[in-house]
Amino acid sequence: KNICEHLHLPVQSGCDEILQRMNRHYSTETYRRHIGQLRSAIPDINITTDIIVGFPGETDEMFEQTLAFMAEIRFDAAFTFLYSKRSGTPAATMEEQVPLVVKKSRLKRLMDLQNSISLAANQYWVGKSVEVLADGPSKTDPSVFSGRTRQNKIVLWPATPADFPGNTRLIQIMSAQTFLLRGEAVVERKD
């Protein structure tokens, strides 16, 4: 109960050949095994990742492997990036640089897939009451409070007099969006 159920594992690519080109010393199979173990031990764990598209030499087939990996693993969220040259790095001088238009197209496809997965992951929480650590009033609407679950999911709810930054609230989740949950504070009985 002292450790929150969120872990960020930046896989970078769902293609083993690209991982080798990136000089990563792990494989997609390593990630599958570790994520399987984590989900078995902590069923409600929120696992997020980083993905780079358009690394030099990435073919359409290699990108399709990344999409298939993402569809299989079903990360709760992913931070997605276009590969960009950085002077002084080995990748900057690699042949087979992927054209920007191709990278942008791939990124859109990846984000569309991940957004559908993220929405489904958030819909799992609808109807559940969850512990939320309050951050404070929403930046866009002070009548709404914002906080995070033990899985690091953002939750918004109508502010009550009992809300203040740093307190923990029990929130009934009423609806889900791609990047956040909406709910209502559960009134705690005083016996």
Residue partners of 92: CB distance under 8 A and separation at least 6: 85, 86
How does pLDDT run across 101-130, given as a tens digit for each residue?
Answer: 999 999 999 999 999 999 999 999 999 999
Q: Model pTM? A: 0.90
How does pLDDT run across 55-99, given as a tens digit for each residue?
Answer: 999 999 999 999 999 999 999 999 999 998 877 777 777 888 899
How does pLDDT run across 3-12, given as a tens digit for each residue?
Answer: 899 999 999 9
If DSSP codes are grouped into helix, strand and coil, which group holds residue 145? strand
Report the 10 Å Cβ neighbour count for 27.
13
What is the chain's Cα-based Rg?
A: 20
